[in-house]
């Protein structure tokens, strides 16, 4: 990494610390005046304003460390003193409907939008550590805001494939990736395309994340044995045209989803897998036969989220040798190329980034790939065939965004590291 890049990063970090200290001071002043309850309310309010996706409240020897995840990265907000630990944790657990007397086991809770008078719900997960209870709050998307497929970051040729395949009247349509990669948003966006008066559309979710008019949405409840599998079996007897299954987690759900896709239902779902080809291995491990895999799967989308350059502090620069290598540019091409990065400003939390976009792989099953799956070829061979037949990899999609000035080389390198890991 060049000295110039390092200097820019240091400046952005310094600006971020200023914003963190300002927020910390605001919270400290509130503690001195009114105590922990309004403090929690203000923390939630500021988290929503900053478009945070998660709040991490971690105990340590000195109290509670509070961090916000903004654009995929955790940022320290403040350290709460030991004397407030029990009060803050109890306040959040009460809001989430959790048992405040249980401190030795993991718990899940839910803060509804009516409790916090906001448009978004909050999922809460907690559990014990050696220093006390830890809570992580997941701030759910605004249920009224739906993103169209065109707005997610697909390349033009990828988008054309997906729009055609979503309309196929049967088969399985999967979005895969790690936690927090935007899988649910992609599936919801695809689902809106099939939300028509002429079709019966049902979702099976845990929990229901966004309420959609015209769609029958079902929330499973494992406490009473109402699982994905039981719900799936029931819904299949109710003449659905389209089903959205929140997540395929086990062999039985996978088997039922595949059979549904083969018998005239469009099934949209998510799966934890590193990339598109890894899905084939996961389905094999779930006991789905290769023939059913290639017949049922119509489209697999692997995705990651990368940060976008702040529009208010963009600056151009010429790539150095390391950046050129990451972008696979020759010396001649590098000399003619101008890349973009953010210098950091008040509008982007002084990080140089504002918002995120997706990078994607889109896998279909042309005849050559179908035959390779039926032969149970390995992932490397399958990937070679998929790329030869037009699949753009996650890395190649990210390189395009760097060259267009949408994101930075650093985000490309971070993506590459995550894929390898």
- Stated pTM of the model: 0.85
Residues 6+ positions from 331 with CB-CB distance below 8 Å: 324
Q: Among 45-49, 248-252, 330-334, 337-341, which is the least confidently predicted range? A: 45-49
C-alpha 303/C-alpha 326 separation (Å) is 20
pLDDT digits (tens, 9 = 90+) for 242-288: 999 999 999 999 999 999 999 999 999 999 999 999 999 999 999 99
Residue 139 has pLDDT above 60, yes or no: yes
Distance, in Å, from the CA atom of 393 to the CA atom of 396, rounded to the nearest integer, reads: 5
d(CA 82, CA 96): 22
Which pLDDT score is estimated for 418? 85
- Find out whether 342 and 351 touch, Cβ atoms under 8 Å: yes
Nearest to 85 by CA among 69, 102, 105, 62: 62
Residue 2 pLDDT > 50: no
Given phi > 0 = left and psi -120 to 50 = alpha, else beta, which region is 395?
alpha
Is 248:205 a contact under the CB 8 Å cutoff? no
* Token pair 């099934």 in the structure block, residue: 267
Could you tell me the domains of the chain? 35-139 (3.30.450.90), 149-310+352-420 (3.40.50.300)
Share of the chain above pLDDT 90, in %: 72
Percent of the chain with pLDDT over 70: 89
- CA atoms within 13 Å, Cβ hemisphere of 364: 17
């Amino acid at each position: 990494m060049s000295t110039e890049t390092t200097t820019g990063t240091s400046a952005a970090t310094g600006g971020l610390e200023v914003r963190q200290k300002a927020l910390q001071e605001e919270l400290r002043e509130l503690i001195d005046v009114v105590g922990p309850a309004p403090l929690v309310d203000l923390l939630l309010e500021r988290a929503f304003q900053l478009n945070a996706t998660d709040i991490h409240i971690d105990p340590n020897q000195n109290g509670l460390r509070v961090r916000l995840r903004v654009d995929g990265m955790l940022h320290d907000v403040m350290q709460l003193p030991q004397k407030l630990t029990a009060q803050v944790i109890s306040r959040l657990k009460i809001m989430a409907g959790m048992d405040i007397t249980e401190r030795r086991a993991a718990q899940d809770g839910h803060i509804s939008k009516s409790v916090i008078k906001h448009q978004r719900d909050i999922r809460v997960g907690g559990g014990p550590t050696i220093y006390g209870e830890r809570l992580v709050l997941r701030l759910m998307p605004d249920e009224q805001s739906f993103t169209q497929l065109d707005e997610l970051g697909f390349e033009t040729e990828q988008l054309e494939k997906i729009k055609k395949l979503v309309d196929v009247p049967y088969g399985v349509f999967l979005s895969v990736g790690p936690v927090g990669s935007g899988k649910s948003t992609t599936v919801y966006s695809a689902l809106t395309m099939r939300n028509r008066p002429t079709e019966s559309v049902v979702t099976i979710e845990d929990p229901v994340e966004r309420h959609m008019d015209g769609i029958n949405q079902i929330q499973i409840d494992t406490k009473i044995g109402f699982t994905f599998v039981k719900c799936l079996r029931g819904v299949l007897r109710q003449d659905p045209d389209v089903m959205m299954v929140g997540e395929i987690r086990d062999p039985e759900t996978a088997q039922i989803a595949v059979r549904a896709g083969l018998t005239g239902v469009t099934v949209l779902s998510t799966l934890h897998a590193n990339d598109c080809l890894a899905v084939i291995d996961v389905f094999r491990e779930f006991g789905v036969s290769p023939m059913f895999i290639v017949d049922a799967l119509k489209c697999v989308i692997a995705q990651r989220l990368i940060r976008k350059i702040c529009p208010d502090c963009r600056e151009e620069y010429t790539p150095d040798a390391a950046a050129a290598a990451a972008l696979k540019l020759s010396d001649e091409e590098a000399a003619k190329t101008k890349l973009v990065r953010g210098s950091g400003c008040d509008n982007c939390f002084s990080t140089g980034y504002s918002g995120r976009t997706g990078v994607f792989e889109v896998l279909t099953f042309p005849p050559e790939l179908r035959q390779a799956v039926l032969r149970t070829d390995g992932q490397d061979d399958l990937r070679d065939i998929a790329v030869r037949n037009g699949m753009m990899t996650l890395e190649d999609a990210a390189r395009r965004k760097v060259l267009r000035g949408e994101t930075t080389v650093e985000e490309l390198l971070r993506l590459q590291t995550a894929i390898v890991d």
